[in-house]
Amino acid sequence: MQFFKKLNLIAAVSILTVGTAHAVEPTPVDWFNAGYQTVFNAKRLIANNRHAKNVILFIGDGMGVSTITASRIYDGQTKGGHGEENSLSFEKLPYLALSKTYSVDQQTPDSAPTMTAMVTGVKTIGDSLSVNQYVVHSEKNANIINANKLATILEQAKQHGLSAGIVSTARITHATPAATYAHTANRDWEGDSDKLAGATVPDIAAQLVDFNISGGIDVALGGGRTRFIPNTVKDPEYGVSGKRKDGRNLTVDWTTKHRNARYVWNQAGFDAIDPNTTDHLLGLFEPSHVHYEADRVAYDQSGEPSLTQMTTKAIDILKKNQKGYFLMVEGGRIDHAHHSGNAYRALTETQQFAAAVKAAMDATDPLETLIIVTADHSHVFTIGGYPQRGNPILGLTQGVGATTPDLDLLGLPYTTLNYANGTGYTGASNAQPAGSKTFTIPATAGWASGSEGHNPTSFQPANGRPILDSAKVEDDNYLQEAIVPLSAETHAAEDVAIFAGGPKAHLFHGILEQNVIYHVMAEALGFN
């Protein structure tokens, strides 16, 4: 069912013939009528004050406004249109707000405190997962953690008899998914071998499997196998050793602990899962993060599901609970591509993320399911120059009426997309001679599923700006230029968008503190 079929919210831009191989430029009358139709539809919006049966929280990790804009254009251009007038699935949700992302101690935050704010209603310090600000970083004492932990929306959902699931393209123990179920003062303690000596705080992977509220977590799909298997066991796909030193095989613990439980690690196992007979599903599809969407088919040895497929499977299992469910879905590798300075993969990850949102919209009833789409933070990712409409978003900037790319003060062409810092730095000043740079992703699954995807292995420094052409900058592996040289591009501090539809979605408006997201979800589910 289309998400807005019942609400009769027809996208005004649909009359602008977008997304076809032969897009027709709108006339002045078309533009005027489209604007009128937008206002007409807005006047017909009726706030849904019912309680939600289900809540789905989508997190595009690092998906700032510039990323959404560039991805919208890229998606539209891949469909044959100019791109600018295109809309991603979640941009059609009726309610919108901005979220202030700073944490208690960070002007520019990391994912741990931002996700903690969204799922607990309380802001905290950097690197902390669902514990309050009074816990020092890397606190070893489990008693102190327990005394200061914050209840999450997932935990409360289970306490109220709902089902709960988490889906991510990152490791399922990574900061964003972990904040929904784990409590620790160091987001990096994903496995027992990651902890400091003497720490009694359980590692994040163990907290996921040992989660005991109302029968435990129902669905967990993502990457991160090595944190779940002992160092005496080889990974089934790549032959690398597990990382657990305590001897536990958490994948076995999962299936023995729960009724009708399954563990899968590849596409075939995933496809074989029958939602009607499976009540608890753990899927770990890579030793670390899952592959970038652009690399899944080429690099994955045994196959792995897309974010859309994981989202759909999770919904099919969770919806069996007549009381409802809470589901968190993270597009985690948007963030990793940005850290690498590779806009192409950031945009294609966002494109797949939008497809997952659409799948959830189609699979749920907007009268009973609250869908929220937001980001934990932004990135220092920019869209600049004065390119003409329809100019390739990954290409060189070319102005209106121009037949050749625009040039900088050195007489060199430049791209529309750039980063303020990161791996794409090419020289110390604009007075230096032009150079060149190359970046190649090795044809090995190890890097593609990598630790973070932050460290390019083939980068040729230059003495100044490179001499660019369309073939170079539109290559999938091109790293956009950066002003400040860093080994990894950084997060940014500006507000991020919140899109919402369904019960209580109208409570999102204006500029909000990030922790308000939790309170809207709690209100929608009747937890307040």
Active site residue 111: yes
Percent residues over pLDDT 90 in the chain: 85
Calpha distance 441→43 (Å, rounded): 50
Mapped onto helix, strand or coil, the DSSP state of residue 19 is: coil
CB 412 within 8 A of CB 468: yes
The class that CATH gives domain 95-380+490-525 is alpha beta
Choosing from 111, 128, 130, 378, the catalytic residue is: 111
- With 90 as the cut, is the pLDDT of residue 10 above it? no
Give pLDDT, residue 463.
52
Q: Is the pLDDT of residue 459 over 70?
A: no
Give the number of other CB atoms < 10 A from CB of residue 477.
16
Question: Rounded to the nearest 10 degrees, what angle do helices 65-78 and 343-363 cross at?
Answer: 80
Residues 6 or more apart in contact with residue 14 via CB below 8 angstroms: none
What pLDDT band is residue 299 in, cutting at 50, 70 and 90? confident
Distance CA 315, CA 360 (A): 8
pLDDT per residue as tens digits for the range 347-375: 999 999 999 999 999 999 999 999 999 99
Q: What is the pLDDT of residues 307-334, one digit of tens each?
A: 999 999 999 999 999 999 999 999 999 9
Residues of the chain with CATH 3.40.720.10: 95-380+490-525
Strand ranges for 393-492 from DSSP E: 417-422, 482-485, 491-492
Both tokens of 217, joined, read 């977590």
Question: How far apart are the C-alpha atoms of 210 and 363, rounded to whole Å?
Answer: 30
397 pLDDT higher than 80: yes
Q: In what order do the strands lie in the sheet with 417-422?
A: 381-383, 417-422, 482-485
Q: Which of 213, 186, 91, 98 is nearest to 513 (CA)?
A: 98
With both helix axes pointing from N to C terminus, report the angle between 111-120 and 516-525 in degrees, rounded to the nearest 10.
Answer: 30
Angle subtended at Cα 120 by Cα 114 and Cα 122, rounded to the nearest 5 degrees:
65
Separation in Å, CA 27 to CA 30, 32, 299: 5, 9, 46
**Residue 339: Cβ within 10 Å count:** 25
pLDDT class for 25, splitting at 50, 70, 90?
Answer: confident
CA 360 to chain centre: 15
With contact defined as beta carbons under 8 Å apart, do 495 and 516 qualify? no
- What's the predicted TM-score (pTM) here? 0.92
Average pLDDT of the chain? Answer: 90
Share of the chain above pLDDT 70, in %: 88
DSSP-assigned letter for residue 479: P
Give the chain's count of helices (H) and strands (E). Answer: 16, 15
Q: How far apart are CA 97 and CA 115, in angstroms?
A: 17
- What is the C-alpha to C-alpha distance for residues 181 and 130, in angstroms, rounded to an integer? 8
Residue 194, judged by CB atoms within 10 A of its CB (0-12, 13-18, 19+), counts as middle
Token readout for 395 is 């290409």
DSSP secondary-structure letter at 293? G
428 token code pair: 């110390």
Residue 88: helix, strand or coil by DSSP?
A: coil
Are the beta carbons of 290 and 223 closer than 8 angstroms?
A: yes
> What is the pLDDT at residue 466?
85
Query: Side-chain half-sphere of 408: how many Cα atoms within 13 Å?
Result: 17
| Dist CA 81 CA 104 (whole Å) | 43
Provide the 8-state DSSP code for 505: G
Residue 510 has a CB neighbour count (10 Å cut-off) of 8
Write out the two tokens for 515: 């922790």
d(C-alpha 48, C-alpha 122), whole Å: 26
Phi and psi dihedrals of 258, rounded to 5?
A: -105, 155
- Return d(Cα 248, Cα 231) in angstroms, integer: 9
Residue 465 has what pLDDT?
Answer: 83
pLDDT in tens, 207-254: 999 999 999 999 999 999 999 999 999 999 999 999 999 999 999 999
What count of Cα atoms within 13 Å lies in the side-chain half-sphere of residue 24? Answer: 9
- The DSSP annotation for 238-291 comes to T-PBP-BSS---HHHHHHHHSTTEEEE-SHHHHHT--TTT-SEEEEE-SSSSPP
Burial per residue of 121-157, b for 16 or more beta-carbon CB atoms within 10 angstroms, e otherwise:
bbbbbbbbbbbbbebeebbbeeebbeebbbbbbbbbb
User: Quick one: which H or E segment has residue 73?
Assistant: helix 65-78
Predicted pLDDT of residue 23: 62
What letter does residue 325 receive in the DSSP assignment?
E
78-112 per-position pLDDT tens digit: 999 999 999 999 999 999 999 999 999 999 999 99
